[in-house]
Amino acid sequence: MNTAFSNDDTSAPGEQGSGQLIYLAEDDHDDIFLFERALKALKSGHSLNTFENGQQLFDALQKPGAKVPDIVFLDINMPVQTGLECLLNIRRHHSKVLPVFLFSTAQDRLTVEQARKLGATGYLSKPTSTEELGALLTSVLAIDWRSRSVNDFYVHLQLAST
């Protein structure tokens, strides 16, 4: 699915605005809706392509003449191909500098470390509100990840409430 968001919100779906091209692999429709709402609220002209699993996203990258996204967000737990498997395929067959973030509710150290070792640019805990996700996307999308060292690793985890 292609969705474009512009400052005046007159772009047609699939029409890229002045912002970044973002790929999101996510199997939960509520999480996709939250991501779309948060991105639209930024009013920054970003375009979003969504995929139901890592294999669909990877297949889109493999198509001849495919436009390479500016940034990729991968849920970890998806059917067909998980986010970690997709990350591994992206790093094996595509640029090591393509910014790829794991985006999940899982926050255990082992999973975060595995993502880092497989070459993720960062690991983000899924916020539960549009406002929190919007703030997170604002900070992540403001950074030029391609110019940073491939050894940089960005982590944002939600602190558990006590």
Residue 162: inside a domain, yes or no? no
- Predicted confidence at residue 3, as pLDDT, reads 53
Residue 149: inside a domain, yes or no? yes
Residue 161: inside a domain, yes or no? no
Cα angle 92, 98, 7; round to 5: 150
SS3 content of the chain, % helix, strand, coil (to 5): 35, 20, 45
- Which residue in 46, 40, 45, 42 sits closest to 22, CA to CA? 46
Whether the CB-CB separation of 38 and 30 falls below 8 Å is answered with: no
Whether the CB-CB separation of 38 and 90 falls below 8 Å is answered with: no
> Tens of pLDDT along 30-80?
999 999 999 999 888 899 999 999 999 999 999 999 899 999 999 999 999
Print the domain residue range for 79: 2-109+118-156
Structurally, how many domains does the chain consist of? 1
pTM of the model: 0.84
Half-sphere exposure of 63 (CA within 13 A, CB side): 10
All residues at 6 or more sequence positions from 33 whose CB lies less than 8 Å from its CB, including other chains: none
Q: What is the CATH number of the domain that holds 78?
A: 3.40.50.2300
Q: How far apart are CA 73 and CA 102, in angstroms?
A: 6
- Predicted confidence at residue 158, as pLDDT, reads 57
